Amino acid sequence: MMKVLIVDDDTNISELIALYLRKEGYETKEVYNGKEALEAFEAYNPDIVLLDIMLPEIDGYDVCKEIRRINKTPIIMLTAKGEVFDKVLGLELGADDYIVKPFDPKELIARVKAVLRRSVQISEPAKTRNRIMLDNIIIDKDNYSVTYEGQLVELPPKELEVLYFLASHPRQVFTREQLLDKIWGYDFVGDTRTVDVHIKRLRDKFEGDHSWSIKTVWGVGYKFEK
Protein backbone atom coordinates (compact mmCIF):
# COMPACT_ATOMS: atom_id res chain seq x y z
CA MET A 1 0.00 0.00 0.00
CA MET A 2 1.39 3.40 -1.04
CA LYS A 3 1.96 5.83 1.84
CA VAL A 4 1.13 9.54 1.56
CA LEU A 5 2.42 12.19 3.96
CA ILE A 6 -0.01 15.15 4.06
CA VAL A 7 1.44 18.42 5.38
CA ASP A 8 -1.08 21.23 5.88
CA ASP A 9 -1.80 23.42 8.90
CA ASP A 10 -5.52 23.43 8.06
CA THR A 11 -6.77 20.29 9.78
CA ASN A 12 -10.03 20.29 7.82
CA ILE A 13 -8.20 20.23 4.50
CA SER A 14 -5.76 17.57 5.73
CA GLU A 15 -8.57 15.31 6.92
CA LEU A 16 -10.53 15.79 3.70
CA ILE A 17 -7.49 14.92 1.56
CA ALA A 18 -6.79 11.88 3.75
CA LEU A 19 -10.39 10.72 3.41
CA TYR A 20 -10.28 10.79 -0.38
CA LEU A 21 -6.87 9.11 -0.52
CA ARG A 22 -7.88 6.32 1.85
CA LYS A 23 -10.94 5.64 -0.32
CA GLU A 24 -8.52 5.12 -3.20
CA GLY A 25 -6.50 2.60 -1.19
CA TYR A 26 -3.64 4.81 0.04
CA GLU A 27 -2.31 4.90 3.59
CA THR A 28 -2.00 8.43 5.00
CA LYS A 29 -0.33 10.39 7.77
CA GLU A 30 -1.22 14.01 8.50
CA VAL A 31 1.07 16.60 10.12
CA TYR A 32 0.49 20.32 10.57
CA ASN A 33 3.79 22.22 10.52
CA GLY A 34 7.16 22.13 8.78
CA LYS A 35 9.11 20.78 11.72
CA GLU A 36 6.71 17.86 12.15
CA ALA A 37 6.87 17.27 8.40
CA LEU A 38 10.62 16.68 8.40
CA GLU A 39 10.42 14.43 11.47
CA ALA A 40 7.52 12.46 10.00
CA PHE A 41 9.24 12.13 6.62
CA GLU A 42 12.17 10.33 8.19
CA ALA A 43 10.06 8.12 10.46
CA TYR A 44 7.14 7.38 8.11
CA ASN A 45 9.13 6.93 4.86
CA PRO A 46 6.26 7.97 2.55
CA ASP A 47 5.98 7.19 -1.16
CA ILE A 48 4.79 10.75 -1.88
CA VAL A 49 4.42 14.04 0.04
CA LEU A 50 1.56 16.53 -0.34
CA LEU A 51 3.07 19.75 0.96
CA ASP A 52 1.45 23.10 1.71
CA ILE A 53 3.64 26.20 1.33
CA MET A 54 2.34 28.39 4.17
CA LEU A 55 3.29 26.37 7.25
CA PRO A 56 4.18 27.27 10.84
CA GLU A 57 7.80 26.94 12.05
CA ILE A 58 9.32 25.91 8.70
CA ASP A 59 7.63 26.88 5.44
CA GLY A 60 6.91 24.45 2.63
CA TYR A 61 9.71 25.75 0.42
CA ASP A 62 12.33 24.94 3.07
CA VAL A 63 10.72 21.57 3.80
CA CYS A 64 10.84 20.75 0.07
CA LYS A 65 14.46 21.88 -0.14
CA GLU A 66 15.48 19.74 2.86
CA ILE A 67 13.70 16.63 1.56
CA ARG A 68 15.32 17.08 -1.84
CA ARG A 69 18.73 17.37 -0.22
CA ILE A 70 18.48 13.79 1.05
CA ASN A 71 15.80 12.03 -0.99
CA LYS A 72 14.00 11.86 -4.36
CA THR A 73 10.55 11.03 -2.95
CA PRO A 74 7.88 12.75 -5.12
CA ILE A 75 6.44 16.02 -3.76
CA ILE A 76 3.25 17.80 -4.82
CA MET A 77 2.94 21.37 -3.52
CA LEU A 78 -0.49 22.36 -2.19
CA THR A 79 -1.14 26.06 -1.72
CA ALA A 80 -3.64 28.88 -1.94
CA LYS A 81 -1.02 30.89 -3.81
CA GLY A 82 -1.53 30.86 -7.55
CA GLU A 83 1.02 33.34 -8.82
CA VAL A 84 3.49 32.12 -11.43
CA PHE A 85 6.46 33.08 -9.22
CA ASP A 86 5.34 30.76 -6.40
CA LYS A 87 4.74 27.90 -8.79
CA VAL A 88 8.12 28.31 -10.51
CA LEU A 89 9.96 28.55 -7.18
CA GLY A 90 8.33 25.37 -5.89
CA LEU A 91 9.26 23.46 -9.04
CA GLU A 92 12.81 24.82 -9.04
CA LEU A 93 13.26 23.60 -5.46
CA GLY A 94 12.39 20.09 -6.60
CA ALA A 95 8.61 19.71 -6.38
CA ASP A 96 7.19 17.28 -8.95
CA ASP A 97 3.84 18.99 -9.34
CA TYR A 98 1.83 21.94 -8.03
CA ILE A 99 -1.89 22.26 -7.35
CA VAL A 100 -3.70 25.40 -6.21
CA LYS A 101 -6.44 25.44 -3.57
CA PRO A 102 -9.35 25.09 -3.81
CA PHE A 103 -8.98 21.95 -5.91
CA ASP A 104 -11.24 19.16 -7.09
CA PRO A 105 -10.47 16.00 -5.09
CA LYS A 106 -10.64 13.96 -8.33
CA GLU A 107 -7.94 16.17 -9.84
CA LEU A 108 -5.76 15.74 -6.76
CA ILE A 109 -6.11 11.95 -6.91
CA ALA A 110 -5.28 11.99 -10.63
CA ARG A 111 -2.16 14.12 -9.97
CA VAL A 112 -1.02 11.79 -7.18
CA LYS A 113 -1.42 8.73 -9.41
CA ALA A 114 0.39 10.42 -12.31
CA VAL A 115 3.35 11.53 -10.19
CA LEU A 116 3.67 8.11 -8.56
CA ARG A 117 3.50 6.43 -11.97
CA ARG A 118 6.31 8.62 -13.31
CA SER A 119 8.34 7.96 -10.17
CA VAL A 120 8.04 4.18 -10.54
CA GLN A 121 9.02 4.35 -14.22
CA ILE A 122 12.12 6.42 -13.42
CA SER A 123 13.21 4.00 -10.69
CA GLU A 124 12.91 0.89 -12.87
CA PRO A 125 16.22 -0.83 -13.67
CA ALA A 126 17.62 0.21 -17.04
CA LYS A 127 17.43 -2.86 -19.29
CA THR A 128 18.93 -3.17 -22.77
CA ARG A 129 18.56 -6.55 -24.48
CA ASN A 130 20.14 -9.02 -22.06
CA ARG A 131 21.78 -6.43 -19.80
CA ILE A 132 20.37 -4.90 -16.63
CA MET A 133 22.05 -1.84 -15.10
CA LEU A 134 21.34 -0.62 -11.59
CA ASP A 135 23.16 1.88 -9.35
CA ASN A 136 26.17 -0.31 -8.60
CA ILE A 137 25.66 -3.51 -10.56
CA ILE A 138 25.53 -4.58 -14.23
CA ILE A 139 24.10 -8.03 -15.00
CA ASP A 140 24.94 -9.10 -18.56
CA LYS A 141 23.36 -12.35 -19.63
CA ASP A 142 24.93 -12.26 -23.11
CA ASN A 143 28.41 -12.92 -21.75
CA TYR A 144 27.33 -14.21 -18.31
CA SER A 145 29.16 -11.50 -16.41
CA VAL A 146 28.32 -9.39 -13.36
CA THR A 147 30.08 -6.14 -12.53
CA TYR A 148 29.52 -4.96 -8.96
CA GLU A 149 30.88 -1.61 -7.78
CA GLY A 150 33.22 -1.57 -10.77
CA GLN A 151 34.63 -5.06 -10.16
CA LEU A 152 33.86 -8.28 -12.03
CA VAL A 153 32.20 -10.86 -9.78
CA GLU A 154 32.50 -14.55 -10.60
CA LEU A 155 29.07 -16.20 -10.41
CA PRO A 156 28.11 -19.76 -11.36
CA PRO A 157 25.66 -19.69 -14.30
CA LYS A 158 22.57 -20.60 -12.26
CA GLU A 159 23.26 -17.91 -9.64
CA LEU A 160 23.56 -15.34 -12.42
CA GLU A 161 20.35 -16.56 -14.01
CA VAL A 162 18.48 -16.30 -10.70
CA LEU A 163 19.75 -12.75 -10.17
CA TYR A 164 19.01 -11.73 -13.77
CA PHE A 165 15.51 -13.21 -13.75
CA LEU A 166 14.48 -11.56 -10.47
CA ALA A 167 16.02 -8.21 -11.48
CA SER A 168 14.10 -8.41 -14.77
CA HIS A 169 10.82 -8.47 -12.83
CA PRO A 170 11.23 -5.91 -10.01
CA ARG A 171 8.69 -6.12 -7.16
CA GLN A 172 7.10 -9.27 -8.62
CA VAL A 173 6.95 -12.19 -6.20
CA PHE A 174 7.90 -15.67 -7.45
CA THR A 175 7.41 -18.93 -5.61
CA ARG A 176 10.30 -21.37 -5.35
CA GLU A 177 8.45 -23.69 -7.74
CA GLN A 178 8.12 -20.89 -10.32
CA LEU A 179 11.83 -20.09 -10.07
CA LEU A 180 12.73 -23.75 -10.49
CA ASP A 181 10.53 -23.93 -13.58
CA LYS A 182 11.80 -20.66 -15.14
CA ILE A 183 15.51 -21.20 -14.46
CA TRP A 184 16.13 -24.93 -14.07
CA GLY A 185 13.28 -26.14 -16.30
CA TYR A 186 10.15 -28.14 -15.61
CA ASP A 187 12.02 -31.48 -15.84
CA PHE A 188 14.55 -30.55 -13.13
CA VAL A 189 15.00 -33.33 -10.58
CA GLY A 190 15.47 -31.71 -7.19
CA ASP A 191 13.59 -29.78 -4.53
CA THR A 192 12.87 -26.15 -3.70
CA ARG A 193 15.81 -25.93 -1.28
CA THR A 194 17.96 -25.50 -4.39
CA VAL A 195 16.44 -22.02 -4.82
CA ASP A 196 17.05 -21.12 -1.17
CA VAL A 197 20.72 -22.10 -1.45
CA HIS A 198 21.26 -19.96 -4.55
CA ILE A 199 19.50 -16.96 -2.99
CA LYS A 200 21.64 -17.26 0.15
CA ARG A 201 24.84 -17.38 -1.90
CA LEU A 202 23.80 -14.29 -3.86
CA ARG A 203 23.02 -12.36 -0.68
CA ASP A 204 26.40 -13.33 0.79
CA LYS A 205 28.20 -12.05 -2.31
CA PHE A 206 26.35 -8.71 -2.48
CA GLU A 207 26.27 -7.66 1.15
CA GLY A 208 26.30 -3.97 2.04
CA ASP A 209 24.20 -0.85 1.54
CA HIS A 210 22.76 -0.48 -1.93
CA SER A 211 19.45 0.50 -3.50
CA TRP A 212 18.33 -3.04 -4.35
CA SER A 213 17.93 -6.37 -2.59
CA ILE A 214 16.40 -9.83 -2.91
CA LYS A 215 13.57 -9.93 -0.40
CA THR A 216 11.95 -12.97 1.16
CA VAL A 217 8.14 -12.88 1.09
CA TRP A 218 7.37 -15.26 3.92
CA GLY A 219 5.18 -18.17 2.96
CA VAL A 220 5.37 -17.27 -0.74
CA GLY A 221 8.85 -16.88 -2.22
CA TYR A 222 11.22 -14.13 -3.34
CA LYS A 223 11.19 -10.77 -5.10
CA PHE A 224 13.72 -8.22 -6.32
CA GLU A 225 13.18 -4.90 -4.54
CA LYS A 226 14.45 -1.61 -6.01
Q: Give residue 221's pLDDT.
A: 93
Q: Give residue 49's pLDDT.
A: 96
pTM score? 0.55
Regarding predicted confidence, which is higher, 61 or 120? 61
19 contacts 43 by C-beta, under 8 angstroms:
no
The long-range contacts involving 197-203, CB below 8 angstroms and separated by at least 24 positions, are 198/158, 198/159, 198/162, 199/162, 201/159, 202/155, 202/159, 202/162, 202/163
**Comparing 142-151, 167-176, 182-191, which segment has the lowest mean pLDDT?**
182-191
> Each residue of 209-224: pLDDT tens digit?
677 899 999 989 999 9
> Each residue of 113-127: pLDDT tens digit?
888 887 765 555 555
Q: Give residue 83's pLDDT.
A: 63
Q: Which domains does the chain have, with CATH numbers?
A: 3-123 (3.40.50.2300), 126-225 (1.10.10.10)
Q: Please count the residues of the chain.
A: 226
Work out the average pLDDT over 173-192: 81
> Each residue of 65-95: pLDDT tens digit?
999 888 888 999 988 766 666 667 777 778 8
